[in-house]
């Protein structure tokens, strides 16, 4: 068995196993993991320092998950926006294609926790073939975002089959892979995998780091391998209460990402997903974090803060306001709060 498969097989999947690693009463977690699966592989487990720390909160079931009657089971209305199983077509020119139900770690805040890691999510070669045929017919789709679950938990052979099939469709210009593996199981990024992926350019990877403690030498090595294969790397972070909901943590994370050649892409307001209400922050928190970054640090480090509208309205960018008035003269404020004006009196 390859190293990463062996690590994955040694994941802990029950609170009782967790209790053997930490001095923590896990009895209250039993009803939770039966509803929403738990999987913490030995690599990520090793990064958790103490119960309740930011990595623990992302990985360990919490009784609050079962105490949420505010949020929605399918907040982005993905099921209704899927013309074929596992293919979400919300925007005109691009789709989200779910190709795996498995992840290297089950994040407690997952938007798809209704189905990821459970028998409620079924991905087979047959469901994938139906997606290929939809993509062949709908030539306006030029960008396919492969996600899941985690696409990089597929075997090398299945990935080759999938990518060969996508590249055989002429209307598809770019392929994007969304994967948390560089963060949660970086050993999956083998030289063999990087060698496979580079055959399908233009191919982009967006990964998902939420906390500076996740940026380790192993994660750096995985990202160096992907970047070395010519794959531009982006990152999506979810703003999470008790994990990263302050400017110092987010700024440190974004600086750390640039150091491992990953360009911050999105900072997401947490979705209104059933079982994740305890992670949500106020929108003001995200705007304050953005204001603390813009101008004060490299523009390269600043992601787009976005809220994915409940009901499937799509991603809406949110920004602190620097525009005071718009007319023949525009008045603005800079990041320090100093007033500025610009002559806008043009035909």
Binding positions for ligand SF4, rule: CB under 6 A: 103, 106-107, 110, 112, 116, 148-150, 180
Q: Which one of ligand SF4, ligand PLP, none is in contact with 88 (Cβ closer than 5 to 8 A by kind)? A: ligand PLP
Yes or no: say if 105 and 18 are a contact pair by the CB < 8 Å rule. Answer: no
Identify which of residues 96 and 116 has a Cβ nearer to ligand PLP in the complex.
96
Q: What's the min distance (Å) between Cβ of 287 and ligand SF4? A: 23
Residue 74 vs 150, nearer CB to ligand SF4: 150
Residue 148 touches which of ligand SF4, ligand PLP, none (CB < 5 to 8 A by kind)?
Answer: ligand SF4
Q: Please, what is the minimum distance in Å from the beta carbon of residue 347 to ligand PLP?
A: 34
Indicate the residue among 88 and 162 with the shorter CB distance to ligand PLP. Answer: 88
Report how far apart, in Å, the C-alpha atoms of 56 and of each of 40, 60, 107, 126, 328 are: 10, 6, 10, 37, 53
For the chain, the distance separating the N- and C-terminal CA atoms, rounded to the nearest angstrom, is 68
Cβ 180 to ligand SF4, closest distance in Å?
A: 4
Nearer of residues 110 and 306 to ligand SF4, judged by Cβ = 110
Q: What residue ranges bind ligand PLP (CB under 6 A)?
A: 88, 90-91, 94, 96, 145, 315
145, interface contact from ligand PLP, ligand SF4, none, CB < 5-8 Å by kind: ligand PLP
Query: Which residues contact residue 93 at a Cβ distance below 8 angstroms, ignoring those fewer than 6 apart?
Result: 140, 141, 142, 143
Closest distance to ligand PLP from the beta carbon of 113 (Å): 15
- Residues 42, 47, 49, 52: what is their CA dihedral angle, to the nearest 10 degrees? -90
Contact partner, 90, from ligand SF4, ligand PLP, none, Cβ < 5-8 Å per class: ligand PLP
Give the nearer residue to ligand SF4 in terms of CB position, either 8 or 293. 8
91 binds, among ligand PLP, ligand SF4, none (CB under 5 to 8 A by kind): ligand PLP
Q: Closest CB to ligand PLP among 2 and 319? A: 319
User: Could you give the CA distance from residue 198 to residue 210 in angstroms, rounded to a whole number?
Assistant: 26
Q: Name the residue nearer to ligand PLP (CB basis): 144 or 229.
A: 144
107 is in an annotated binding site: yes
Query: Is 110 labelled as part of a ligand binding site?
Result: yes
Is residue 103 a known part of a binding site?
Answer: yes
Identify what 57 binds: ligand PLP, ligand SF4, none; CB under 5 to 8 Å per kind.
Answer: none
Q: Return the sign of the alpha-carbon dihedral for residues 12, 13, 17, 23.
A: positive
User: How many of the other CB atoms lie within 10 Å of CB of 154?
Assistant: 19
Answer with the entry of ligand SF4, ligand PLP, none that 112 interacts with (C-beta below 5 to 8 A by kind).
ligand SF4
Helix orientation angle between 156-167 and 125-137, rounded to the nearest 10 degrees: 20
Annotated binding site: 103, 107, 110
Annotated binding site for [4Fe-4S] cluster: 103, 107, 110
């Amino acid at each position: 068995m390859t190293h990463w498969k062996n690590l994955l097989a040694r994941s802990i999947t029950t609170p009782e196993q967790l209790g053997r690693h930490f001095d923590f009463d896990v009895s209250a977690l039993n009803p939770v993991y039966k509803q929403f699966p738990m999987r913490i592989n030995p690599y990520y487990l090793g990064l958790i320092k103490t119960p309740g720390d930011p990595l623990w909160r992302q990985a360990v079931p919490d009784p609050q998950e079962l105490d949420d009657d505010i949020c929605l089971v399918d907040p982005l209305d993905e099921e209704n926006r899927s013309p074929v199983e596992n293919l979400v077509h919300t925007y005109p020119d691009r789709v989200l294609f779910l190709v795996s139900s498995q992840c290297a770690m089950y994040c407690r805040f997952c938007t798809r926790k209704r189905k990821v890691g459970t028998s409620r999510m079924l991905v087979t070669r047959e469901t994938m073939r139906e997606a290929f045929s939809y993509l062949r017919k709908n030539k306006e789709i030029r960008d396919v975002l492969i996600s899941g679950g985690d696409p990089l938990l597929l075997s090398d052979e299945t990935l080759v089959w999938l990518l060969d099939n996508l590249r055989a469709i002429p209307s598809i210009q770019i392929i994007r892979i969304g994967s948390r593996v560089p963060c949660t199981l970086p050993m999956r990024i083998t030289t063999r995998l990087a060698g496979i992926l580079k055959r399908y350019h233009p191919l982009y990877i967006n990964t998902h780091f939420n906390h500076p403690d996740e940026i380790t030498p192993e994660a750096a090595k995985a990202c160096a391998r992907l970047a070395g294969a010519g794959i531009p790397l982006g990152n999506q972070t979810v703003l999470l209460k008790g994990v990263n909901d302050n400017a110092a943590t987010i700024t440190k994370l974004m600086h750390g990402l640039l150091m491992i050649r990953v360009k911050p892409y999105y900072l997401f307001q947490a979705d209104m997903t059933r079982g994740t209400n305890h992670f949500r922050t106020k929108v003001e928190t995200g705007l304050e974090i953005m204001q603390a970054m813009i101008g004060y640090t490299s523009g390269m480090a600043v992601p787009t803060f976005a809220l994915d509208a409940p009901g499937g309205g799509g991603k809406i960018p949110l920004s602190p306001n620097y525009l005071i008035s718009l007319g023949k003269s525009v008045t603005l404020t800079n990041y320090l709060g100093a007033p500025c004006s610009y002559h806008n009196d043009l035909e």
